[in-house]
């Protein structure tokens, strides 16, 4: 279970968020949306939807300032898409926006999976789920691969108990907790169709598209710049070819695969430089070469001859298993 705090919650900050004007909020949220735009390449439909939600909340606040009726918004969400498309990052920024507007007491996000919520024996699930909810109160609870909560094929599974507790808290504490369910779109669709009570409580369904090859290359450039590395021209061409090949294989994880590919390239780069450590220039320390990219199994003949083995290796790499 991971918890990320974006802004320490103090009584003064909470009160300031509640007392701030719509104009002040608009400026703060504009800065947050600009930060999101810098953090994530592409994802235009996602960014537009987040902007629309923020606009609705700002209008509600403006209406309240002018004495008009406002209803309590339903802010529970579903994020669907393949791995590495920025779902967790957007959830973090959503928590920040809701905190800035005073809808949530704290600017934190608690990210969990089934293992954090569901127990393995009778009487174990309720305490686990309630403990997670206690940690998430005042912020956002992000449940990744949420469809694993529901396993209809197993009559002795305890996931349904966790779902029932979540449903109750989502309804009774929606002014103090936002729940975001995430996972593959087809599986999330089945999950919601099997749990109509859950579906009726989730107002915002946002689909995260896969990145295009040129977007993945831009993501790689940004990651390298952050680490003070760069590609030389042959390496840039090699990485473009790597992306094209890797996207055709199973278990591709978008930006996550790009990050892990760069980490492996850095390992090869370091090994290459240490073959002659006394003659390493500053430029060489910062420059990834084509040989560091083309040493990937994606380019090897063995990968073509045995794609299943290669794909298993890449999947393990992308999941951080090796």
Are 231 and 294 in contact by the 8 Å Cβ rule? The answer is: no
Residues 190-234: pLDDT tens digits? 999 988 888 889 999 999 999 999 999 999 999 999 999 999 999
Domain count, the chain: 2
β-strands 204-208, 77-81 pairing:
parallel
The answer to whether 76 and 201 have CB atoms below 8 angstroms apart is: yes
CA 147, 149, 153: angle at the middle one, nearest 5? 85
Residue 307 token pair: 């794609």
Query: Within this chain, do residues 102 and 167 fall inside the same structural domain, yes or no?
Result: yes
How distant, in Å, are the alpha carbons of 180, 185, 235 from that of 203? 10, 16, 45
Q: What range defines the domain where residue 278 resides?
A: 213-318
Q: Give me the CATH number covering residue 235.
A: 1.10.8.60
CATH of the domain at 110: 3.40.50.300
Identify whether the C-beta of residue 159 lies closer than 8 Å to the C-beta of residue 165: no
Do residues 112 and 79 make contact, with C-beta atoms less than 8 angstroms apart? no
- Kindly state whether residues 189 and 224 are assigned to the same domain: no
- In tens, the pLDDT along 115-162 reads 999 998 888 999 999 999 999 999 999 999 999 998 877 777 889 999
For 10, phi then psi, to 5°, come to -125, 155
Of 208, 231, 253, which one is at a domain's C-terminal end? 208
By C-alpha distance, which of 182, 167, 187 is closest to 91? Answer: 182
For the whole model, what pTM was predicted?
0.83
Is the domain of 167 the same as that of 234? no
């Amino acid at each position: 279970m991971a918890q990320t705090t974006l802004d320490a919650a103090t009584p003064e900050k909470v009160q300031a968020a509640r007392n701030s004007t719509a104009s002040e909020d608009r400026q703060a949220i504009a800065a947050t949306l600009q930060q999101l735009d810098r953090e994530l390449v592409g994802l235009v439909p996602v960014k537009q939807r987040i902007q629309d939600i923020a606009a609705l909340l700002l209008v509600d606040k403006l209406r309240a300032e002018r004495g008009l009726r406002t209803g309590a918004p339903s802010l529970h969400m579903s994020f669907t898409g393949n791995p590495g498309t920025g779902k967790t990052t957007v959830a973090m920024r959503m928590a920040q926006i809701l905190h800035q507007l005073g809808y949530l007491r704290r600017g934190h996000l608690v990210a969990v999976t089934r293992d954090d919520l569901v127990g393995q024996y009778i009487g174990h699930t309720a305490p686990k789920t309630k403990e997670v909810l206690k940690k998430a109160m005042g912020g956002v609870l992000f449940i990744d691969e949420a469809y694993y909560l529901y396993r209809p094929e197993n009559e002795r599974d305890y996931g349904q108990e966790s779902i029932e507790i979540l449903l109750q808290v989502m309804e009774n504490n929606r002014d103090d907790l936002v729940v975001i369910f995430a996972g593959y779109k087809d599986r999330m669709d089945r999950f919601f169709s099997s749990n109509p009570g859950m579906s009726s409580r989730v107002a915002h369904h946002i689909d995260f598209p896969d990145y295009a090859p040129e977007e993945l290359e831009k993501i790689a450039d940004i990651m390298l710049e952050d680490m003070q590395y760069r590609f030389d021209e042959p390496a840039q061409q090699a990485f473009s070819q790597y992306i094209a090949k890797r996207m055709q294989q199973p278990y591709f994880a978008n930006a996550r695969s790009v990050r892990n590919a760069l980490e492996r390239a850095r390992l090869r780069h370091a090994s290459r430089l240490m073959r002659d450590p006394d003659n390493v220039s500053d430029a060489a320390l910062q420059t990834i070469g084509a040989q560091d990219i083309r040493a990937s199994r994606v380019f090897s003949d063995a990968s073509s001859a045995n794609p299943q083995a290669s794909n298993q290796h890449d999947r393990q790499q992308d999941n951080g298993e090796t």
